[in-house]
């Protein structure tokens, strides 16, 4: 079994879910004989939020790259960045390590293609929804069209991230707001919705809506499992 490297703590609540899903699926796939081999570096979220808040992207890239190198040096066979937004640095980090970086957008796109869906709505932090690193990758590499909420809706989503999610708060009011935004994206032609922040699945899941949801946290964790047990 290969060793999975997790760059977590971004935030810690979703990193816990990565750990649970990976171990659960490794256990089930082995007839409950094994658990996962994981090396996890859980960062202080302040190291992330302070740099993102000041748009210190050079400092962020350096910090994440140094962390990824530590994970590789500890013996990991692959690396997962346990956050969608931080994949804006994925290509730069990949160039500085010698082990595979399992990209969350690639894993999600493969699942979307399996469902024969061509157009999706994307929910996430403002950088994930507004910057090209995620949307363009889905379009250029996989031919998937992406639509995002309106500017006002994006602002409201960001307020929920900063005011609630990073404090571990997941309220029914926030759930209703997200479901309303999903319905509006579906009305614009979205055949499915990408939950493009690894905290969103802690708020909304498939039982809450008939619109197909793509839980990037679960998809990403499962991609790590496939990597770990495939020779």
Confidence of residue 214 (pLDDT cuts 50, 70, 90): very high
Query: In this model, does residue 166 exceed pLDDT 90?
Result: no
Query: In this model, does residue 208 exceed pLDDT 90?
Result: yes
The backbone torsions φ and ψ at residue 164, rounded to the nearest 5 degrees and listed phi first, read -130, -55
Please give the residue that has the higher pLDDT: either 165 or 191.
191
The three-class DSSP label of residue 188 is coil
pLDDT at 231: 62
Q: Which CATH number does the domain housing residue 128 bear?
A: 3.40.50.1860
Asked whether 38 and 227 are in contact (CB, 8 A), the reply is no
Q: What Å distances lie between residue 100 and 45, 108, 113, 211, CA to CA?
A: 24, 17, 22, 32
Mean pLDDT calculated for residue range 41-62: 92
E strand or H helix at 87, and its extent?
A: none
Mean pLDDT calculated for residue range 22-40: 95
Same domain, 81 and 132: no
Full-prediction pTM beyond 0.85?
yes
Same domain, 172 and 70: no
Going by their DSSP bridges, the two strands 119-123 and 192-195 should be labelled as: parallel
Same domain, 17 and 73: yes
Confidence of residue 19 (pLDDT cuts 50, 70, 90): very high
Same domain, 71 and 11: yes
Tokens representing 46 are 């302040």
Same domain, 68 and 160: no
The total number of structural domains that make up the chain = 2
User: Residue 171's domain spans which residues?
Assistant: 105-215
pLDDT at 162: 84
Same domain, 143 and 202: yes
Same domain, 133 and 146: yes
Same domain, 51 and 22: yes
Same domain, 125 and 85: no
Same domain, 110 and 211: yes
Same domain, 163 and 128: yes
Query: In this model, does residue 38 exceed pLDDT 80?
Result: yes
Percent of the chain with pLDDT over 70: 100
Query: In this model, does residue 198 exceed pLDDT 90?
Result: no
Same domain, 112 and 211: yes
Mean pLDDT of the chain, nearest integer: 94
Mean pLDDT calculated for residue range 171-176: 94
């Amino acid at each position: 079994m290969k060793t999975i490297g997790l760059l977590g703590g971004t935030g810690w609540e979703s990193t816990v879910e990565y750990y649970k899903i990976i171990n659960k699926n490794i256990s089930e796939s082995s007839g409950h004989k094994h658990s996962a081999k994981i090396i996890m570096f859980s960062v202080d979220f302040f190291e992330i939020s302070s740099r993102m808040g000041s748009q210190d992207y050079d400092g962020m890239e350096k910090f994440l790259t140094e962390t990824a190198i530590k994970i590789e040096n500890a013996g990991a066979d692959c690396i997962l960045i346990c956050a969608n937004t931080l994949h804006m640095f994925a290509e730069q980090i990949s160039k500085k390590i010698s082990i595979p970086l399992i990209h969350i957008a690639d894993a999600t796109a493969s699942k979307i293609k399996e469902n024969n869906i061509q157009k999706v709505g994307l929910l996430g932090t403002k950088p994930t929804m507004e910057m090209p690193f995620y949307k363009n990758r889905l379009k250029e590499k996989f031919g998937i069209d992406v639509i995002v909420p309106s500017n006002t809706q994006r602002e409201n989503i960001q307020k929920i991230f900063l005011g609630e999610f990073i404090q571990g708060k997941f309220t029914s009011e926030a759930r209703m707001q997200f479901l309303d935004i999903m319905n509006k994206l579906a009305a614009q032609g979205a055949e499915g919705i990408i939950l493009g922040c690894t905290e969103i699945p802690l708020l909304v899941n498939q039982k809450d809506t008939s619109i197909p949801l793509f839980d990037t946290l679960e998809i990403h964790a499962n991609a790590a499992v496939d990597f770990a047990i495939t020779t």
